[in-house]
Amino acid sequence: MNLEAVIGLEVHCQLASCSKIFCSCPTKFGALPNTQVCPVCLGLPGVLPVFNKRVLELAIISGLALSCKINNHSRFHRKNYFYPDLPKAYQISQYDEPLATGGSINLDGKKIGITRLHLEEDAGKLMHAEGASLVDFNRCGIPLIEIVSEPDIRSPEEAYAYLTEIKAILQYTEVSNCNMEEGSLRCDVNVSIRREGEGLGEKVEIKNLNSFRGVEKALHYEIERQIEVIKSGRKVFQETRLFDEKKQVTFTMRAKEEAKDYRYFPEPDLLPLIVEKEQIESLKSQVPELASQKKERFMKDYGLSEYDAKILTSTKEMAIFFETCLRSYDKPKIVNNWITTELLGLLAEKKKKLADSLVKPELLTKMLLLIDDGVISGKIGKDVFAEIFASGKDPEEIIKEKGLVQIKDTDSLYLVIDEVLSENPQAIKDYQEGKKKAVGSLIGQIMKKTMGRANPELANQLLLKRLGEDI
Q: Which residues bind Zn ion (CB under 5 A)?
A: 23, 25, 38, 40-41
In whole angstroms, the minimum distance from the beta carbon of 43 to Zn ion comes to 10
User: What kind and span of H or E run contains 194?
Assistant: strand 185-195
Please, how many CA atoms are within 13 Å of residue 405, restricted to the half-sphere of its CB?
A: 8
Using CB atoms within 10 Å of the CB of residue 231, give its burial: 0 to 12 exposed, 13 to 18 middle, 19+ buried.
Answer: exposed
Shortest reach from residue 85's CB to Zn ion, in Å = 15
Q: How far is the CB of 51 from Zn ion (least distance, A)?
A: 13
CB nearer to Zn ion: give 19 or 240: 19
Residue closer to Zn ion by CB (options 23, 398) is: 23
Q: How far is the CB of 272 from Zn ion (least distance, A)?
A: 23
Distances (CA, A) of 333 to 301, 308, 326: 11, 9, 10
Of 87 and 456, the one with the shorter C-beta distance to Zn ion is 87
Nearest-approach distance from CB 29 to Zn ion, in angstroms = 16
Instruction: Annotate 89-133 with DSSP letters as a single string.
Output: SEEEE--SS-SEEEEEEEETTEEEEEEEEEEEE---EEEEETTEE
Least spacing, CB of residue 249 vs Zn ion, in Å: 39
Alpha helix (H) residue ranges in 392-434: 395-402, 410-423, 425-432
Q: Which is nearer to Zn ion, 40 or 371 (CB)?
A: 40
> Considering beta carbons, is residue 25 or 166 the nearer one to Zn ion?
25
Of 14 and 149, which has the nearer Cβ to Zn ion? 14
Q: Which is nearer to Zn ion, 21 or 371 (CB)?
A: 21
For Zn ion, give the closer residue by CB, 23 or 335: 23
CB closer to Zn ion out of 40 and 64: 40
Burial class (CB in 10 A: 0-12, 13-18, 19+), 341: exposed
Shortest Å distance, C-beta 137 to Zn ion: 9
How much of the chain is in helix, strand and coil states, percent to nearest 5?
Answer: 40, 20, 35
How far apart CA 394 and CA 387 sit, in angstroms, is: 9
Closest CA relative to residue 120, chosen from 145, 96, 98? 145
104 within 8 A of 113, measured Cβ to Cβ:
yes
Beta bridge partners of 153: 7
Residue 57 and residue 173 in contact, taking contact as beta carbons nearer than 8 Å: no
Please answer whether residues 224 and 5 qualify as being in contact, where contact means their C-beta atoms are separated by less than 8 angstroms. Answer: no
DSSP 22-33: SS--B--TTPPT
Q: How far is the CB of 176 from Zn ion (least distance, A)?
A: 20
Host H or E run for residue 400: helix 395-402
Give me the amino acid identity at 296: E
Minimum distance of Zn ion from residue 395's CB (angstroms): 50
Tell the smallest beta-carbon distance from residue 96 to Zn ion (Å). Answer: 27
How many Cβ atoms are within 10 Å of 82's Cβ, its own excluded?
Answer: 8
H helix runs in 124-211, sequence order:
156-172
CB of 37 to Zn ion, least distance (A): 6
Which CB atom, from 11 or from 37, has the smaller least distance to Zn ion? 37
Closest distance to Zn ion from the beta carbon of 41 (Å) = 3
Terminal alpha carbon distance of the chain: 75
Q: Which amino acid is at 171?
A: Q
Q: What is the DSSP letter of 151?
A: T
Measured from the CB atom, is 41 or 105 closer to Zn ion? 41
Euclidean distance between CA atoms 132 and 439, whole angstroms:
76
Which one, 21 or 163, has the nearer CB to Zn ion? Answer: 21
